[in-house]
Amino acid sequence: MGRVSTTLGTTGGCACARGVVSTFVLGQGSFRLFRFAGIDVYLHWTWFLAALWEFQRPIGTYRSAVWSALEYLALFGMVTLHEFGHALACRSTGGHADRIVLWPLGGLALVNPPQRPAATLWSIAAGPLVNVALLPTLAAVYYLTPLHLAPHGDTASFVRAIAYINGGLLIFNLLPSYPLDGGQILRSLLWFVLGRARSLLAASVVGFAGAAGLALLMLKTGSFWFGLLAAFMAFSCWRAFQNGRAMLRLERLPRRTGVACPSCGVAPPLGALWKCGRCGTSFDTFETGATCPSCGARFAATRCADCGALSPFEQWTAPSPVVPGSVSV
């Protein structure tokens, strides 16, 4: 089973994230594989480069190279199931998730759960839970069928290999290093205590340490994949750190009374934080009734500075009891 550990080292990271990395991955060169439950699964072209590289490696214990290729495909099959765990859990919290991208470092589920710690925690934890569910499933496939009676056959080796890969994926993704699932679970847990911004700052700092550890591992093993993963993680942590700082600045702004986001229920900050899509002028949309003071353009929907949700302007109403007969603006 020589290949198993190297495969684990090379792929299977799940950074079920957003931001620049996902934009980079999605931006160019992904094509749609299939659609299930309203979720599109895309494959990035770089996956083929990695697959070619993988397929040229020694085939390990198998008699036929076909099994080696199947093993690599099975790895991505499990990554896809894992990503569906995230996407469907995110949907169940009322969040938005419609896309999964597979690339050489694993998968990205573009999930946008409601900005609450419990919803975020569930959206992230559901991915590794799929791997937890696969543990007994794969063990059953092996031990409840005649496979275990012929342990040296290719089929038995294959099932054993993917069971090990599944276990490895689970352990790897639970490393508490942002943006891996474990790091995002840590962040969601800290969110309950520290709030949205500080939890992200704390998790990104821990993530930097994880990326540094991987970089050391790269130096030690000479593995290109560890280096790539370390760079990806460090970059994501840097982005998360910047995001956390921006959130902290936002949290400190004074808030408008009598108005709240229909999605997250938070009162909008005071200040010229909205930008006119037509002329580029910055203005406070609640001051002007969603009308640009410069060019007069009126905007039907307003984006929440806190949760990012876009809601009809009329729905931004008072968070406290509505007085009967009053007019909400």
Residues that bind Zn ion (CB under 5 A): 14, 16, 127, 181, 261, 263-264, 276, 278-279, 281, 292, 294-295, 297, 304, 306-307
**Smaller CB separation from Zn ion, 32 or 278:** 278
Cβ of residue 82: shortest distance to Zn ion, in angstroms?
Answer: 5
Buried b (16+ CB within 10 A) or exposed e, 207-244: bbebbeebbebbeeeebebbbbbbebbbbbbebbbebb
Whose tokens are 């968070």? That residue is 319
Whose tokens are 């419609």? That residue is 98
**Smaller CB separation from Zn ion, 156 or 248:** 248
Question: Coil, helix or strand for 294?
Answer: coil
Beta strand pairing call for 39-44 and 96-103: parallel
**Smaller CB separation from Zn ion, 105 or 159:** 105
Cβ of residue 268: shortest distance to Zn ion, in angstroms?
Answer: 8
**123 vs 194: CA distance, rounded Å:** 19
Cβ of residue 14: shortest distance to Zn ion, in angstroms?
Answer: 3
**122 vs 16: CA distance, rounded Å:** 12
Cβ of residue 246: shortest distance to Zn ion, in angstroms?
Answer: 15
**Smaller CB separation from Zn ion, 3 or 86:** 86
Cβ of residue 27: shortest distance to Zn ion, in angstroms?
Answer: 21
What's the first-to-final CA gap in the chain, in angstroms?
66
**251 vs 267: CA distance, rounded Å:** 11
**Smaller CB separation from Zn ion, 219 or 279:** 279
Question: Coil, helix or strand for 97?
Answer: strand
Cβ of residue 15: shortest distance to Zn ion, in angstroms?
Answer: 7
**Smaller CB separation from Zn ion, 35 or 278:** 278
